[in-house]
Amino acid sequence: MKRPLRAWGLILSLGCMLGSAPAQVEEQKPCVPQRVLIKFRSPLAYLHANRIAASWGARVEGGIPQIGVLSLQIPPGVDEKTYADALAQYGAVEFAEPDYIVEPCQVVTPNDPRYNLANMEGWHLARIGCPAAWARTRGHPRVIIAHLDTGIDSGHPDLAGKLVPGWNFYDNNENTQDHFGHGTATAGVIAAATSNGFGIASVAWDCRIMPLRISSPEGSAATGVAAQALVWAADRGARVAVLTYGMTQSQTVRDAARYFMIRARGVVVISAGNGGTADPRPDNPYVITVSGIDPEDRRASWTTYGNAVDLCAPGEQILTTSRSGGFSPMFGTSYSAPIVAGVAALVISVNPSLSGDQIQRILFRSANDLGAPGWDPEYGWGCVNAARAVALARWLPMDRQPPSINFESPASGAPVSGVVQVRVNAYDRSGVYRVQLYYGESLVGTRRVPPYTFTWDSRYAPNGMNTLTAVAQDGAGNIGRADLQIRVDNPVDNHPPTITITSPTEGTILEGTGLVVRVDAQDDVGVVRVELYVNGNHYLSSTTPPFTLRGSTASWQPGAYQLQCRAYDAAGRVGYSQIVTVHKP
């Protein structure tokens, strides 16, 4: 039986490959040697798979019958990628590919200089698990986020080239330049150019932004204009829309968001607002309303919360783009909502077939639960988590493995006294977001970058066995902990501290507005704090030897003032200095 000409052509091309080394156009990913995975379009081909493979110089060595994939052993010395590409040209083949070897997903760290967790620059990205999510996707240029705001500074180095054509709904023209500044700042959070060696990092690196100016020159925006912009964006390919105005209760915006959700198969994300109070109005099911949290995962004091809240996201110290090419730290739900919008864009990037309702459910289900278990009016379903959301969108198992954590020093059971250096080791595949050290219920400190070294003053602890607890949180929100038993052995403190004000002296006339009070504080074990009282009222404190206290007298009225200091030891005993009278001219 004669083979079709198409098959003969493929066999000839394979024969050529066997006799010559393939041209290496790009670096190949590692794969299992001499193995190619193949799937035929027709079930009939599987009846003759052995014969077909033999005609290609290969043989069937196994497969996955449930999904119709066969494993072929190909001749030695042949490039697996080139061989698979040639097989894929055969009309009866649905796909052919090497059996790639993939390392476990690790965190991705962008090279932007203002992504510096030690300085809290980009902390919000680590907090929501972006480094682990970026190992799977940095977004896709086909995923467009409609940005309903005051416009965008298209000339900003971290935003140039990230924009698609938009519209100015206030002036009814194509000029979407930022006239106010708010829009440039919110846009940088979503999709500023990242890992370009400049500026900041963003949530959805490779997604693009559709600038839609809906505001007046003063920065305000009407709900009707916002609704028009949502419809316009849905009709022009946007999959995510972010609205950083508190319009969640507008019926017009509600209907426009419903249109966007169905027409664009996407989601609309809206800021809860910065009123700092509870809003009792009902939820809008067609938008994702976002409240704000601080770096300690607490509801920010300024955020609006209530029945409409679906998710929360970081909203304090968010370093982002500003007009004229700069960068500024910002706060408010105007920055919490863009964070969620960026995560939604990552979700769509790994699974574009999702509907708007499915995207919402993925974001809610993958969030880190905060506050009361389940949904609550302060945090909604919890803090958005990019790593878990992307994994869920790809139908992959979400990271539920807590970080590994242990104490490096001091040793378990070791005697300690005075000020102790505590060193903790922590590791996680999704990246360690932060490590905290606790003594009982008291937080000793927080570290976000290694080495995780803390200073603990054991003089506040009773002599005998005490417990320190280290807690590590990874980028997916999982928490690991370790306890350390140590024996505190401080000298017995039998006497209160002594303290003397050495400067200023009695009768000093204060010059200028600066006040500097120097003391001599002594204790048989150690002084831990010194306080200054002015006319009997607490004014300044210091916990660092030599306990010099510095303040201002700018608000003082002319007259005489009595200064007295108090010194405290770790046992809580207090010593009092003499009273020194000074004069403000």
* Residues 135/109, Cβ–Cβ less than 8 Å: no
Dump strand ranges (E) for 493-558.
498-503, 514-522, 527-534, 537-542, 549-552
Read off the amino acid at residue 281.
R
DSSP type of residue 221: B
Cis bond before residue 504 (omega within 30° of 0): yes
Catalytic residue among 149, 153, 279, 428: 149
Distance of CA 159 to the CA centre of its chain: 20
DSSP type of residue 75: P
* Residues 56/14, Cβ–Cβ less than 8 Å: yes
DSSP type of residue 229: H
CA distance 306 to 142: 35
Is 202 marked active-site?
no
Helix (H, G, I), strand (E, B) or coil at 95: strand
CB atoms within 10 A of CB 296: 10
Distance of CA 282 to the CA centre of its chain: 29
CA distance 168 to 134: 32
CA angle 441, 388, 312 (to 5 degrees): 60
Is 417 marked active-site?
no
Q: Are strands 559-569 and 527-534 parallel, antiparallel or unpaired?
A: antiparallel
Q: Are strands 240-243 and 144-149 parallel, antiparallel or unpaired?
A: parallel
Distance of CA 267 to the CA centre of its chain: 20
Catalytic residue among 140, 182, 430, 458: 182
What are the tokens at 392? 């869920």
CB atoms within 10 A of CB 401: 13
Read off the amino acid at residue 287.
V
Identify the helix (H) or strand (E) that includes residue 356. helix 356-366
Proportion of the chain in helix, strand, coil states, percent, rounded to 5: 20, 35, 45
Is 149 marked active-site?
yes
CA distance 235 to 572: 69
First to last CA, the chain: 115
Whole-number Cα distances in Å, 161 to 206, 414, 468? 11, 59, 51
Q: In what order do the strands lie in the sheet with 59-64?
A: 59-64, 69-73, 31-40, 93-100
Catalytic residue among 334, 366, 430, 458: 334
Dihedral through CA 71, CA 74, CA 80, CA 86, nearest 10?
-90
Task: Using CB atoms within 10 Å of the CB of residue 281, give its burial: 0 to 12 exposed, 13 to 18 middle, 19+ buried.
Answer: exposed
Helix (H, G, I), strand (E, B) or coil at 438: strand
* Residues 122/203, Cβ–Cβ less than 8 Å: no
Active site residues: 149, 182, 334
